[in-house]
Amino acid sequence: MNPIFQGLITIVVGVGGCVGYFYFANLILDRFIFPAKGPEAGRNINRANQVRPWLFLFPAMFALSLYLVYPVFGSFIRSLYNRAGTEFIGFGNYLNLFGDSAFQTAFFNNFLWVLVVPAMATFLGLLVAQLTDRLAWGNIAKSLIFMPMAISFVGASLIWRFVYAADPDIGIINAIRVYFGAEALDPLQVPFWNNFFLMVILIWIQTGFAMVILSAALRGIPEETVEAAIIDGANPFQVFFRIKVPQIMGTIVVVWTTITILVLKVFDIVYAMTGGNFDTEILPSYMMDFMFRDDGRATAVAFVIMIVVLPVMIWNIVQARKEMR
Amino acid sequence: MADLKLTDVEKTYGGTVQVLRDINLDIDQGELIVFVGPSGCGKSTLLRMIAGLEKITGGELQIDGQVVNDVPPSERGIAMVFQSYALYPHMTVRDNMAFALKIAGKSKAEIDEAVNAAAAKLQLENFLDRLPKALSGGQRQRVAIGRSIVRDPKVYLFDEPLSNLDAALRVATRIEIAQLKEQMPESTMIYVTHDQVEAMTLASRIVVLAGGGVAQVGSPLTLYEKPNSTFVAQFIGSPAMNLLGGKIVGTGETTTLELEEGGGTITSHYPSKPEDMGAPVKVGIRPEDMTETDANDFAYHGTVEITEALGEVTLLYFQKSAPDHDPVIGKLSGIHKELRGQDVKLTAAPEKVHVFKDDISLLYRDETVFLPGVQPH
């Protein structure tokens, strides 16, 4: 069968199935299980309304339990078994991990990523949001800055491989170095700093996200508070840092933590740029190294990542709920 | 503590849309000036121009004899109270009030003294450590006022400060503002409102703005008793003044008028000149100045279509003479529900009858009167 045709059928069946589920489940509930007629019509309507949310939530809850909750427990159990999954070894995988210098490097690098990427992306996003706010061509600037969001991490990595290319005829960094008389080098092999060159890619992608959210938050600040501050004698910096930023602090925290969670998941950039060589390994890419080869160890790394993400996640959700109130 | 002088001030947006023109005002120290006008008349814009939040595109603004057109807001010696309070939501009441002084680099002792003094004046001592969201609307407005007092400005600017409050609180806060003004007789205040009661009760002088210009400036009672145009006549007072068509049939120290549309002949205390004889005029009588009469020299007679008995007074709405005319309204003291459907004759004392020729009051015939060219309501 033609693959386009196949794809179309999949879309129709998928979307149609979803719509059909909600329509027919609702119909059956109202017509046959608790019909809104007869001597108990009023009571039936109330009962149907109590059942309806659960009926509609069921597909999502089912999929989430199957693909998220079950794997959490499954992974944990798997992480307690050996490489082949045949022998229970308790916390052996975890002990091995912490003894492995590659894991320690990945953990330390990941710590740097978590420290730098969310901070820089949020700061730059805030800066761009503020600077483009009153500009006539601000929206064009924002669209350009937002664009990297639409590129996959691997795609972005490919673009940046050109930027970082060691050949001065290809890589702009080396082109500039050579122009000023320095020797060409491979930025991705510069010890320690190569981590930051990789982080730049994710910052480049995430600044757009931070900008969009913070720009909306800045617009939500009552204009009078800014005018009152101007009359009170505040200069533009004071208005920004003492009046505007504190008022959108909740949103800043949400953006910050959301990017932090993302940072703890991204493996593609390291995978595509250095393959984890030159001491650039981070936890997710370290996990990828073992996946399908030593699943016990890979799941143990996955579990470490989950435990690290969990508190950030909780804080993120708490802040986001506060914002929505 | 200062006087203000506005000379030919104008505001133009984008070089073409003129919203204010030829604004000339002299405001003395210690005055409480109220800007009123129909919505969209530019009263808030004018206030924001004085504050420095809007650019003055023409003319000159002087505070204390110094031209401040290009002086930044914080150096004009003004403080502003916003309609939405504009409190900084992340700061406590104390920090809100102290913000301007902190920015100005005052010492902690100085700041504390100023904040505590203002808080005492406004009964805010117990709320100093609260955030604005933990305060009621009236308390928030007091904090906003406190924030301006702390700065000890030369001129206070109020932009519809009471319109976010409910009716009862509005009355209470209005009285508080009046008392505050009494405590600070030296301060100059400019107050923007669309509420006539606020204007009439607070103002030492009212500036009626409409159609981009100043329609009349004067004390509340001057505007009420001697409006210079039909616009001001109908804008001040509620219900609005009745305007009846008529012509002058006797001139001199007082004027005799013959009214069209169901009217008789009455006298006004407005003087007129011999050449006015026979001129078509509009005769203005406030609903509350109308009294029932049996005499032959009545001002108006018609059939009462609707009565609204409010207890202390009864409003009589007469049948309209034409569908697009406003109905004549009478306001009689006491309860008169029985007048509904009746034919009633009304008259008014000569000193309550206003005469407008070409929409300008005969009392102001020798002055330049700005006619806004818009409807008062």
User: pLDDT tier at A32 (50, 70, 90 boundaries)?
Assistant: confident
Chain B closest-CA separation from residue A239 CA (Å): 10
The third-level CATH classification (topology) of the domain covering A94-324 is MetI-like fold (1.10.3720)
Residues of B in Cβ contact (< 8 Å) with A238? 103
Nearest by CB to A231, from B51, B85, B88: name it: B51
Question: Over 70: is that where the pLDDT of B377 sits?
Answer: no
Among B44, B49, B82, B85, pick the best mutation site for testing chain A contact (most A Cβ within 10 A).
B82
- Predicted ipTM? 0.84
CA pair distance A287, A102, nearest whole angstrom: 11
Q: Which residue of B has its CA nearest to A232?
A: B100
Find the angle CA(B160)-CA(B164)-CA(B169) to the nearest 5 degrees: 100
**Average pLDDT score over chain B:** 89
In CATH, what number does B4-230 get? 3.40.50.300
- At B38 the pLDDT is 87
Please report the DSSP string for A39-73 in residue order. Answer: TTHHHHHHHHHHHHHHHHHHHHHHHHIIIIIHHHH
Residues of A in Cβ contact (< 8 Å) with B91? 246
Average the pLDDT over A33-55 and give the result: 85
- At B260 the pLDDT is 83
Chain A closest-CA separation from residue B214 CA (Å): 26
Average the pLDDT over B343-359 and give the result: 90
Region(s) of chain B under CATH 2.40.50.140: 239-363
Dihedral sign from CA coordinates of A268, A273, A276, A280: negative
Q: Which residue of A has its CA nearest to B75?
A: A233
How buried is A49 (Cβ within 10 angstroms: 0-12 exposed, 13-18 middle, 19+ buried)?
exposed
User: pLDDT tier at A320 (50, 70, 90 boundaries)?
Assistant: confident
Question: Over 90: is that where the pLDDT of A218 sits?
Answer: yes
Average the pLDDT over A287-294 and give the result: 84
Classified as helix, coil or strand, A274 is coil
Please report the DSSP string for A216-237 in residue order. Answer: HHHHTS-HHHHHHHHHTT--HH
- At B67 the pLDDT is 92
Region(s) of chain B under CATH 3.40.50.300: 4-230
Q: Considering chain B, what percentage of its residues have pLDDT values greater than 70?
A: 99
Interface of B to A at Cβ within 8 Å reads: 51-53, 72-75, 78-80, 82-91, 99-100, 103-104, 147, 151
User: pLDDT tier at A64 (50, 70, 90 boundaries)?
Assistant: very high
Please report the DSSP string for A177-190 in residue order. Answer: HHHTTPPP--GGGS
Average the pLDDT over B356-366 and give the result: 90
A247 in reach of chain B (CB within 8 A): yes
Dihedral sign from CA coordinates of B268, B269, B275, B281: negative
Residues of B in Cβ contact (< 8 Å) with A229? 88, 99
Average the pLDDT over A182-211 and give the result: 91
Describe chain B by its helix, strand, coil percentages, rounded to 5.
30, 30, 40
B74:A230 CB<8 A: yes
Question: Over 90: is that where the pLDDT of A281 sits?
Answer: no
Question: Each residue of B186-237: pLDDT tens digit?
Answer: 889 999 998 888 999 999 999 999 888 999 999 999 999 999 999 999 999 8
- At A85 the pLDDT is 80
- At A38 the pLDDT is 77
Question: Each residue of B38-61: pLDDT tens digit?
Answer: 888 889 999 999 999 999 998 999
Question: Each residue of A113-152: pLDDT tens digit?
Answer: 999 999 999 999 999 999 988 888 888 999 999 999 999 9
How many other CB atoms are found less than 10 A from the CB of residue B8?
11
Q: A284: Cβ–Cβ under 8 A, 6 or more apart, which residues?
A: A264, A265, A266, A267, A270, A305
Nearest by CB to B53, from A227, A243, A247: name it: A227
Q: What Rg do the C-alpha atoms of chain B give, in angstroms? A: 24
Question: Each residue of B113-142: pLDDT tens digit?
Answer: 999 999 998 888 899 999 999 998 889 999
Residues of A in Cβ contact (< 8 Å) with B85? 224
Average the pLDDT over B155-180 and give the result: 88
Question: Over 90: is that where the pLDDT of A289 sits?
Answer: no
Question: Each residue of B21-43: pLDDT tens digit?
Answer: 889 999 999 999 999 988 888 89
Q: Among A66-75, A166-175, A316-325, B93-102, which is the least confidently predicted range?
A: A316-325
Q: Considering chain A, what percentage of its residues have pLDDT values greater than 90?
A: 50
Residues of B in Cβ contact (< 8 Å) with A227? 53, 80, 82, 86
**What single-letter DSSP state applies at residue A78?**
H
**Average pLDDT score over chain A:** 90
CA pair distance B129, B123, nearest whole angstrom: 14
Question: Each residue of B85-97: pLDDT tens digit?
Answer: 899 999 999 999 9
In CATH, what number does B239-363 get? 2.40.50.140
CA pair distance B44, B190, nearest whole angstrom: 11
Chain B closest-CA separation from residue A318 CA (Å): 19
